[in-house]
C-alpha cells in the first residue's frame, strides 16, 4: 500500500451532468486493476472510496469514474476541481482483482450497474487480450460511459428507462431480465459490481443457472 500523498489534478472530463472522470497525476502510485483508493480534498479530513478506472500500464495518470452524490461531502467538490488543484490519495487496497488475467482460456462476464463499471474498465484497459463480456445496467443510453473503449460485441447496455435502437446491441430492461432470458455458461467467471440489490439478485440467478459460488466475485458500490 502507498503512503497517503497529495497529487495534482490533470483534468475533469464530464460524461453527464452527474458523472465525470477525474484524471490525476500518477506520481508512482501503485495499484492492481480493480482496487479502491480513498480520495479527499486536502485539509478537510473527509475522503471517499473509488475504484480505479484507468490502466495499470499508464505511467502518467490515474483516472476515477465518479458520480456526484447530491449533498455529498467529497463528490460535489471533486466535480468542481480544475487542472492544478490537489487531492489526497490513500490506498490502494481491496481484493476485487483478476486472479489469472494472463490465462486466455478463461472467459469473464462482468456485470455492473452505473459507475460500478469502473473496475471493469480498468481490467479491460490493463489486460487487452482479456476474453470478456460486460453487462451494464443503466437507466438511460447517455450513461454508456466510454462505450468506445470496449471491443465490438463485448459490451451490452441493459437500459431500463428508455427504449433502445434496433441493432444497437443494447437490451431494454435490467441486467436481471437479460440473464433470465439468456442463461449463462456456468464455467465462466463472474464479477459483479454496483448496486447491492442487483448483486444479490444476480448472484441468486447465477447459482440457479449452476454457476459455482467460487466463480462469483462481488464488490458493492451502493
As a whole number of Å, the CA-based R_g of the chain is: 17
| Residue 126 pLDDT exceeds 80 | yes
pLDDT digits (tens, 9 = 90+) for 2-41: 778 999 999 999 999 999 999 999 999 999 999 999 999 9
pLDDT digits (tens, 9 = 90+) for 146-175: 999 998 899 999 999 998 887 788 999 999
- The answer to whether 5 and 86 are in contact (CB under 8 A) is no
Measure the N-to-C terminal CA separation of the chain; round to a whole number of Å: 24
Range 176-205 average pLDDT: 97
- The answer to whether 144 and 168 are in contact (CB under 8 A) is no
| Residue 217 pLDDT exceeds 80 | yes
- The answer to whether 210 and 186 are in contact (CB under 8 A) is yes
Return d(Cα 141, Cα 30) in angstroms, integer.
33
Backbone angles phi, psi at 209, to 5 degrees: -95, 20
Return d(Cα 131, Cα 154) in angstroms, integer.
9
| Domains along the chain with CATH numbers | 2-93 (2.40.30.10), 108-220 (3.40.50.80)
| Residue 1 pLDDT exceeds 80 | no
pLDDT of residue 165: 83
Return d(Cα 88, Cα 67) in angstroms, integer.
18
**Of 157, 218, 163, the residue nearest 193 (C-alpha):** 218
| 3-class DSSP state of 204 | helix
pLDDT of residue 168: 80
User: What pTM does this model have?
Assistant: 0.95
Q: What are the grid coordinates assigned to 144, written together? A: 454508456
pLDDT of residue 64: 98
pLDDT digits (tens, 9 = 90+) for 52-104: 999 999 999 999 999 999 998 999 999 999 999 999 999 899 999 999 999 99
Amino acid at each position: 500500500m502507498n503512503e497517503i500523498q497529495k497529487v495534482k489534478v490533470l483534468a475533469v472530463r464530464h460524461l453527464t451532468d452527474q458523472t465525470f472522470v477525474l484524471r490525476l497525476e500518477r506520481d508512482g502510485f501503485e495499484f492492481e486493476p480493480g482496487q479502491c483508493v480513498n480520495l479527499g480534498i486536502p485539509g478537510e479530513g473527509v475522503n471517499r472510496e473509488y475504484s480505479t478506472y484507468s490502466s495499470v500500464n499508464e505511467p502518467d495518470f490515474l483516472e476515477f469514474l465518479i458520480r456526484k452524490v447530491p449533498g455529498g461531502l467529497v463528490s460535489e467538490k471533486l466535480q468542481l476541481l480544475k487542472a492544478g488543484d490537489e487531492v489526497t490519495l490513500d490506498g490502494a487496497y481491496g481484493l476485487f482483482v483478476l486472479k489469472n488475467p494472463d490465462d486466455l482460456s478463461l472467459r469473464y462476464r462482468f456485470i455492473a450497474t452505473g459507475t460500478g463499471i469502473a473496475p471493469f474498465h480498468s481490467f479491460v484497459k490493463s489486460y487487452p487480450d482479456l476474453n470478456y463480456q460486460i453487462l451494464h445496467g443503466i437507466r438511460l443510453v447517455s450513461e454508456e460511459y466510454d462505450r468506445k473503449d470496449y471491443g465490438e460485441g463485448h459490451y451490452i447496455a441493459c437500459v431500463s428507462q428508455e427504449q433502445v435502437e434496433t441493432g444497437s446491441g443494447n437490451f431494454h430492461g435490467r441486467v436481471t431480465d437479460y440473464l433470465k432470458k439468456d442463461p449463462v455458461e456456468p464455467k465462466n467467471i463472474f464479477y459483479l459490481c454496483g448496486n447491492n440489490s442487483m448483486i444479490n439478485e444476480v448472484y441468486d440467478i447465477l447459482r440457479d443457472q449452476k454457476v459455482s459460488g467460487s466463480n462469483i466475485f462481488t464488490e458493492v458500490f451502493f
